Amino acid sequence: MKKWFRYFVLFFIIGSIFSVIYSSFDESLPYRSWLYTFNYLASLIFTIEYGLRIAAAPVQYIQYKRAWMARLHYLFSFYGIIDFVAILPFVIIYFYNDSPHLHLVVLAYILIIFKLIRYSRSFQMIGSVLNQVKDELITSYTACGIMLGFSGILMYYIERNAQPQAFENIGDGFWWAIVAFTTVGYGDIYPVTPLGRLLSSIISLIGIAMIAIPTGIISSAFMNMLLEKKNKEKNE
């Protein structure tokens, strides 16, 4: 894709995100018509881009021998779905301008922010890093999930008699476990029994260590990628 076209589309992506944010302020009321026009124009640009990407899919996905398979792959890919969502306001508003449920379609328009991933090298680098360490992250988060499930169920049975309104079900125990495990500490649900407080202290301490594991994995992989990039630039 030509660089000028990338910047052209990127301008409308950033402008659309800004207009959606700004339209939530009362100060934007005199400019609502302009914001609507800009978003409508942006959706038109995204529609043209969407059509061009469908047409060029066989060139992008050369592993498919047939053109229709490449186009089908793009349509159901992550970027294909995001590109489709980006054109919904243009298509739906044109045909169903008086629909009472039109706001639901426009609400989905906020997913356009994910289009920035395609045009940002930083996002692409982060995605590459996560892809490199996905097995390690899956293992780490699986361990966290097991710990959350165990502590949430156990806390429910410890606290349900002491405060039945706070721990009405195991779902409340899961909510407490997440808050304690991530050390957020909202304070809306907390144990009052001695055994519950002991468990809460242990879970909070374990949570600090467990949350640090995926953070360290991602940081290490990110630093390795930066070093590889610098070495490659020096060799070139």
Sequence letter at residue 87: I
Measuring CA to CA, which residue among 129, 39, 114 is closest to residue 79? Answer: 114
Burial 188-217 (b: 16+ CB within 10 A, else e): ebbbeeeebeebbeebeeebeebeebbeeb
Q: Which of 39-53, 161-175, 185-199 has the highest mean pLDDT?
A: 161-175
Residue with more model confidence, 186 or 77: 77
What angle, 0 to 180 degrees and rounded to 10, lies between the N-to-C axes of helices 134-159 and 170-181? 130
Percentage of the chain beyond pLDDT 70 is 89
Q: How many CB atoms lie within 10 A of CB 158?
A: 20
pTM above 0.85? no
pLDDT digits 0-9 by tens, 55-66: 989 988 888 888
Q: How many CB atoms lie within 10 A of CB 229?
A: 11
